């Protein structure tokens, strides 16, 4: 029973390039959340998605960042024209399709993005 | 006003002692509460969740919830050096269509000294 799968684990991009981060939720989970974390800082919410729908994108920067969760395939967080300030750990989490309020998030191992 | 607050620490306890981690939240409609542990360089992992007033025990961990006072705590008995990590409190406010979104505290750093 695979957990939340994120890839790549490490990603190096030059300034101005595009970064694509992938997340496959756990089996039976249809809710996906993306977070960003800088070293020694807390989790910063970015976006909450269900299949083919963005539920809450209040934490997404207005420009260069986008996210999708298509009917088939993984969720993608896309960062266009990366800048050094985008360097961070990006975590994806998923939660069950059902289960009321007693659910919790399961996190992937994260993608460490380094912009050089 | 922050919605979920935690003392950033570091909280330092000797090995074998009880570590007490606290979290307060602002939304009285909050329905469920979670404690996660995050080791440096790793992703958060769920330790416990609680949604009823009172105590919930799991091994060395006890979560305590007091909805009237709007706080939730985590006690770690017989603390071990391997418990040294950042502990994150998360709260579900159960609001409308966004009812699965968790609101996170910034975490409390715990150091257990041998």
Query: If we measure between CA atoms, which residue out of B30, B19, B110 comes closest to residue B65?
Result: B30
Q: Residue B30's pLDDT is what?
A: 86
Q: Average of pLDDT values for A7-22?
A: 98
Q: What is the rounded end-to-end Cα distance, in angstroms, of chain A?
A: 36
Q: Residue B69's pLDDT is what?
A: 94
**Confidence bin at A42 (pLDDT 50/70/90):** confident
Q: Residue A100's pLDDT is what?
A: 56
Q: Residue A34's pLDDT is what?
A: 97
Q: Residue A101's pLDDT is what?
A: 53
Q: Residue A104's pLDDT is what?
A: 82
Interface contact B107-A110, CB threshold 8 A: no
Interface contact A102-B32, CB threshold 8 A: yes
Interface contact B105-A42, CB threshold 8 A: yes
A39 pLDDT above the threshold of 90:
no
Virtual torsion, Cα B97, B90, B68, B19, nearest 10 deg: 170
**Listed range (A38-52, A61-75, B35-49) with the worst mean pLDDT:** A38-52
| Shortest alpha-carbon distance between residue B2 and chain A (Å) | 13
Find all residues with CB under 8 Å of A61, minimum gap 6, and list them: none
Interface contact B101-A41, CB threshold 8 A: no
- Consecutive 10-residue runs of chain B (114 residues): their mean pLDDT? 84 97 92 94 94 94 96 97 96 71 92 96
Q: Average of pLDDT values for A67-93?
A: 96
Taking CA–CA distances from A29, the nearest residue in chain B reads: B100
Query: If we measure between CA atoms, which residue out of B20, B101, B44, B33 comes closest to residue A58?
Result: B101
Q: Average of pLDDT values for A30-56?
A: 91
CB contacts < 8 A (A, B): 52
- Which residue among A31, A45, A102 places its CB closest to the CB of B49? A102
């Amino acid at each position: 029973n695979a957990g939340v799968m994120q890839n790549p684990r490490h990603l190096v991009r030059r300034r101005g390039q595009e970064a694509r981060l992938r997340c496959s939720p756990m089996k039976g989970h249809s809710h996906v959340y993306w977070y960003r974390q800088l070293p020694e800082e807390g989790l910063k919410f970015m976006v909450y998605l269900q299949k083919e729908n963005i539920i809450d994108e209040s934490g997404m920067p207005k420009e260069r960042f986008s996210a999708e969760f298509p009917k088939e395939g993984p969720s993608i967080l896309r960062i266009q024209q990366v800048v050094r300030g985008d360097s961070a750990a990006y975590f994806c989490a998923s939660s069950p399709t059902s289960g009321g309020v007693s659910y919790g998030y399961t996190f992937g191992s994260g993608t460490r993005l380094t912009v050089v | 006003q922050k919605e979920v607050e935690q003392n950033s620490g570091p909280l330092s306890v000797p090995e074998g002692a009880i570590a007490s981690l606290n979290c307060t939240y602002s939304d009285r409609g909050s329905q469920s509460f979670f404690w996660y542990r995050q080791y440096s360089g790793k992703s958060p992992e769920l330790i416990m969740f609680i949604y009823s007033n009172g105590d919930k025990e799991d091994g060395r961990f006890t979560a305590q919830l007091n909805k009237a006072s709007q706080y939730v705590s985590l006690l770690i008995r017989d603390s071990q050096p391997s418990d040294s990590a950042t502990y994150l409190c998360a709260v579900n406010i159960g609001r409308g269509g966004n009812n699965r979104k968790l609101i996170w505290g910034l975490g409390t750093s715990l150091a257990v000294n041998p």
